[in-house]
Chains A and B, each alone.
Chain A
Amino acid sequence: MDIALGQTLVFGILVGALYGLVALGLSLVFGVTKLLNVAHGELLMIGGFVSFWAFSLYGVNPFLTIAISMVALFLLGAFLYKLIFARTVKLPEETKIKNTLLVAFGLSIILQNLALRFWTADERGISTEFLRTSFTVLGIRFPVVKLANLVIAVFFLVALQLFLRKTYIGKAIRATVQNWEAAYLMGIDIHKVYLLSFAIGAALAAVAGTLVTLNFSIQPNMGLNWTLKALIVMVLGGLGSIPGTFIGGLVLGVTESATSYFISSNYREIAGLVLFLLVLIFRPQGLLGAKEA
Chain B
Amino acid sequence: MLSIDKIDVFYRELQAIWGISLEVNEGEIVALVGPNGAGKTTTLNTISGLLKPASGDIRFLGKSLGKEPPNKIVELGISQVPEGGKIFTGMSVFENLELGAFVPEARKVKGQSIERVYEIFPRLLERHKQLAGTLSGGERQMLAIGRALMACPKLLMLDEPSFGLAPILVEHMFEMIEKINQMGVTILLVEQNIQAALNLAHRAYLLENGRIVGQGNLTDLLSFESVRSSYLA
**Does A145 sit within 8 A of B, measured CB to CB?**
no
The CA-CA distance from A178 to B99 in the complex, in Å, is 13
With contacts A171-B98, A187-B71, A187-B106 taken as known, whether A182 is within 8 angstroms of B151 at the C-beta atoms is no
**Does B163 sit within 8 A of A, measured CB to CB?**
no
Please tell me which one of the listed residues B70, B88, B95, B147 contacts residue A184 in the complex, with CB atoms under 8 A apart. Answer: B70
With contacts A171-B95, A189-B71 taken as known, whether A184 is within 8 angstroms of B87 at the C-beta atoms is no
Interface residues of A in 148-177 (CB under 8 A from B): 168, 171-172, 174-175
> Do the beta carbons of B91 and A187 come within 8 Å of each other?
no
Please tell me which one of the listed residues B48, B75, B89, B95 contacts residue A185 in the complex, with CB atoms under 8 A apart. Answer: B48
Q: Which segment, of B13-21, B78-86, B166-174, B177-185, faces chain A?
A: B78-86
**Does B135 sit within 8 A of A, measured CB to CB?**
no
> Do the beta carbons of A174 and B90 come within 8 Å of each other?
yes
**Does A188 sit within 8 A of B, measured CB to CB?**
yes
> Do the beta carbons of B86 and A188 come within 8 Å of each other?
no
Interface residues of A in 171-199 (CB under 8 A from B): 171-172, 174-175, 178-179, 181-191
> Do the beta carbons of A182 and B86 come within 8 Å of each other?
yes
B151 / chain A contacts, CB cutoff of 8 Å: 186-187
**Does B227 sit within 8 A of A, measured CB to CB?**
no
A49: shortest Cβ distance to chain B, in Å? 37
B82 / chain A contacts, CB cutoff of 8 Å: 181-182, 185
> Do the beta carbons of B90 and A178 come within 8 Å of each other?
yes
Interface residues of B in 131-182 (CB under 8 A from A): 147-148, 151
Please tell me which one of the listed residues A171, A190, A191 contacts residue B99 in the complex, with CB atoms under 8 A apart. Answer: A171
> Do the beta carbons of A172 and B102 come within 8 Å of each other?
yes
With contacts A187-B71, A189-B71 taken as known, whether A178 is within 8 angstroms of B89 at the C-beta atoms is yes
Instruction: Give how many B residues have a beta carbon under 8 Å from the other chain's beta carbons.
Output: 26
> Do the beta carbons of B91 and A189 come within 8 Å of each other?
no
> Do the beta carbons of B50 and A171 come within 8 Å of each other?
no
Q: Please indicate which of the listed interface residues B50, B99, B147 has the most CB atoms of chain A within 10 Å of its own CB.
A: B99
| Interface size classification for chain A | 10 to 19
**Does B69 sit within 8 A of A, measured CB to CB?**
yes
A172: shortest Cβ distance to chain B, in Å? 6
The CA-CA distance from A178 to B88 in the complex, in Å, is 6
B70 / chain A contacts, CB cutoff of 8 Å: 184-185, 187
> Do the beta carbons of A186 and B147 come within 8 Å of each other?
yes
B62: shortest Cβ distance to chain A, in Å? 20
> Do the beta carbons of A185 and B74 come within 8 Å of each other?
yes
> Do the beta carbons of B95 and A179 come within 8 Å of each other?
no
> Do the beta carbons of B102 and A187 come within 8 Å of each other?
yes
A165: shortest Cβ distance to chain B, in Å? 9
With contacts A187-B103, A187-B151, A188-B71 taken as known, whether A179 is within 8 angstroms of B86 at the C-beta atoms is yes
The CA-CA distance from A188 to B73 in the complex, in Å, is 11
> Do the beta carbons of B87 and A186 come within 8 Å of each other?
no
> Do the beta carbons of A187 and B87 come within 8 Å of each other?
no
Please tell me which one of the listed residues A174, A181, A186 contacts residue B102 in the complex, with CB atoms under 8 A apart. Answer: A186
**Does B100 sit within 8 A of A, measured CB to CB?**
yes
The CA-CA distance from A187 to B70 in the complex, in Å, is 7
Please tell me which one of the listed residues A185, A188, A189 contacts residue B50 in the complex, with CB atoms under 8 A apart. Answer: A185
The CA-CA distance from A172 to B100 in the complex, in Å, is 10
With contacts A181-B50, A181-B82, A182-B82 taken as known, whether A188 is within 8 angstroms of B89 at the C-beta atoms is no
A187 / chain B contacts, CB cutoff of 8 Å: 70-71, 74-75, 102-103, 106, 151
B88 / chain A contacts, CB cutoff of 8 Å: 174-175, 178-179, 182-183
> Do the beta carbons of A181 and B86 come within 8 Å of each other?
yes
> Do the beta carbons of B102 and A185 come within 8 Å of each other?
no
| Chain A: CB-nearest residue to B74 | A187
Please tell me which one of the listed residues B69, B90, B99 contacts residue A186 in the complex, with CB atoms under 8 A apart. Answer: B99
Q: With A172-B99, A187-B151 given, can you name 5 additional A-B contacts, CB distance below 8 Å?
A: A168-B102, A174-B88, A179-B88, A185-B70, A187-B71
21 contacts between A and B (CB under 8 A): A171-B91, A171-B95, A172-B99, A172-B102, A178-B90, A179-B88, A181-B50, A181-B86, A183-B99, A184-B50, A185-B80, A185-B86, A185-B148, A186-B74, A186-B102, A186-B147, A187-B71, A187-B74, A188-B102, A189-B71, A190-B71
Which 5 interchain pairs have the tightest Cβ spacing?
A187-B74, A187-B103, A182-B86, A184-B70, A189-B71
